[in-house]
Amino acid sequence: MNSAHSPASPKTPGVVIVTGGSRGIGHAISALLAREGHAVAINYATNAAPAEALARAITEQGGRAMAIRADLSKPGEIRTLFTRAHELGPLWGLVNNAGVTGTKVRVDEQSAETLDALFNINIRATMLAAGEAVRRMSTRHGGKGGVIVNLSSVAARLGGLPGLVPYAATKAAVETFTRGLANEVAREGIRVNAVAPGLTATDMVPPETAKLAETVVPMGRVGHVDEIAQAVAFLLSPASSYMTGSVMTVSGGR
């Protein structure tokens, strides 16, 4: 391969913030990135124990990690997350993984409050965190470039399971944001891509929904968190150096 990698494709791993790294997909992403040599800032909202345990395990195995509490529905706490993560070194990557499904009811039963709570995490926090990352990584601001990966969902295109229409709409917003931000910072050393998982076995998917996979997923099963993490790690790596503004679907064919 030509050695003229863009600044967004460093050959050595760097510091990556993973939002919502205490459980599910974010936990698997944090563990995999640490195994690949990244220093990982593992964010969580309330579940300190699994985030702290993962950071400890990474450190004991010779890696670098710290668990950082920050409720991303609060803009001040998003800023604190980035300030604290700097203790690991200059930022090189952000995985906007934290997400919620919101209140699972029909649209005619949603309220301004339930929608605000959903939008604040899935959309506003994703954009504010990306802004913090761009301010630190963009060559326009004196940074060395970097990579942002946002977590979307196949729901963005399918419209969502019953009661999860607003959730699906937030993920469509994440995909549009991914494409637009990628354009905005493409010449500033930053690549921005998204991963759109299908049904994946985490706390977000109750057993009755997981069972659906047997019928609605062509491969007939839910995804494993490590299968999603692999796609995120690829988009963070130099192997994807010419990819920006893309959405990678990882859904067993759904």
Note if 167 is an active site residue: yes
Helix H, strand E, coil C: the string for 185-248 is HHHHCEEEEEEEECCECCCCCCHHHHHHHHHHCCCCCCECHHHHHHHHHHHHCHHHCCCCCCEE
Using CB under 6 A, pick the residue from 8, 16, 17, 25 that binds ligand NAP. Answer: 25
Interface with ligand NAP (CB under 6 A), residue total 30
Applying CB under 6 A, does 113 fall inside the site for ligand NAP?
no
From residue 185, alpha-carbon distances to 111, 240, 245 in Å are 35, 16, 10
Q: Is 88 exposed, middle or buried (0-12, 13-18, 19+ CB in 10 A)?
A: buried
In terms of CB distance, is 72 or 182 closer to ligand NAP? 72
Binding string, 203-222, against ligand NAP, x = CB under 6 A? xxx-----------------
Measure the CA–CA gap between 223 and 171, rounded to whole angstroms.
18
Strand extents, DSSP E, the chain: 15-18, 39-44, 65-69, 91-96, 146-151, 190-197, 247-250
**Minimum distance from CB of 70 to ligand NAP (Å)?**
6
Q: Which of 97, 167, 178, 227 is catalytic?
A: 167
In terms of CB distance, is 72 or 192 closer to ligand NAP? 72
In terms of CB distance, is 150 or 240 closer to ligand NAP? 150
Q: Using alpha carbons, select from 61, 81, 82, 58 the residue that is nearest to residue 71.
A: 81
Strand bridging mode 39-44 / 65-69: parallel
Measure the CA–CA gap between 247 and 65, rounded to whole angstroms.
28
Segment 145-174, which members bind ligand NAP (CB under 6 A)? 151, 153
In terms of CB distance, is 9 or 251 closer to ligand NAP? 251
**Minimum distance from CB of 156 to ligand NAP (Å)?**
9
Segment 3-22, which members bind ligand NAP (CB under 6 A)? 19-22
| DSSP helix/strand/coil, 154 | coil
**Minimum distance from CB of 61 to ligand NAP (Å)?**
21
Segment 55-74, which members bind ligand NAP (CB under 6 A)? 71-73
Segment 75-104, which members bind ligand NAP (CB under 6 A)? 97-100
Applying CB under 6 A, does 121 fall inside the site for ligand NAP?
yes
Q: What is the DSSP letter of 252?
A: T
Binding region for ligand NAP (CB under 6 A) out of 9-17, 104-112, 131-139, 194-202:
194-202
In terms of CB distance, is 26 or 93 closer to ligand NAP? 26
What is the number of other CB atoms lying within 10 angstroms of the CB of residue 108? Answer: 5
Cα 239 off chain centre by: 18
In degrees and rounded to multiples of 5, residue 15 shows phi and psi of -85, 130
Query: Applying CB under 6 A, which residues contact ligand NAP?
Result: 19-26, 43-47, 71-73, 97-100, 121, 151, 153, 197, 199-200, 202-205
Residues forming the active site: 167
